[in-house]
Amino acid sequence: MNIGFDLDKIFINFPPLVSSGIIDLFYKGNIKNELKYRFPSKAEQIIRIFSHYPLFRPPITQNLDYVKNLALRNKNRHYLISSRFNFLKKRTDDLIKRYNFDKIFNAMYFNYENKQPHLFKNEIIKKLSLNKFIDDDLQLLEYLTDKNPKTKFFWLNNEISKPLRKNLFAIRDISEMFTPLGRV
């Protein structure tokens, strides 16, 4: 089985005291009913590079530990797929080394060509023929479910665990990808 994981809010947390809503405000465009992500201005890039310093982006240890153990226990192929833009490459490379992601994942894919994140992830999901993919961005996942009907998608959130669509499931814990909910 081929399993894909997003990076931010799956393995690396947002800065303390900064809500997801604020991140979305700066990250996503304001076009109604259309999925579009903003590429930040130079000033915003400097702020985001600073905000991605490891001190401000703590690991989500329980998820990291779970996937490390999963990688040791089974024959599945695990992929890290992040839509981080190129200006964050140095910070991302530092994270890979710090948390030994290269020892956990069979391969890692980053959006260093600065494509729209939903288009980048769709391209990689198709290329890898993923069976499962987990992300924290519900709007992005809703887009991907329509484009990849054979892939099971999981929205990691802190509130609900239930099926949302035929191939989209809300989960509160990463392990729920392998429970009866994730096997539907």
CATH number where 155 lies: 3.40.50.1000
Residue 69 lies in domain: 2-183
pLDDT recorded at residue 86: 96
The owner of tokens 């579009």 is 36
Confidence class for position 33, pLDDT limits 50, 70, 90 = low
Give the mean pLDDT of the chain: 88
The domain tally of the chain equals 1
Residue 136 is given by DSSP the state: S
Return all residues near 11 (Cβ < 8 A) that are at least 6 apart.
5, 59, 60, 63, 64, 67, 80, 99
For residues 118 and 140, the answer to whether their CB atoms sit within 8 Å is: yes
How confident is residue 49, by pLDDT bands cut at 50, 70 and 90? Answer: confident
Residue type, 4: G
> CA 138, CA 153: separation in Å to the nearest integer?
10
Q: Residue 143 has what pLDDT?
A: 95
Looking at residue 74, what is its pLDDT? 81
Can you give the pTM of this predicted structure?
A: 0.87
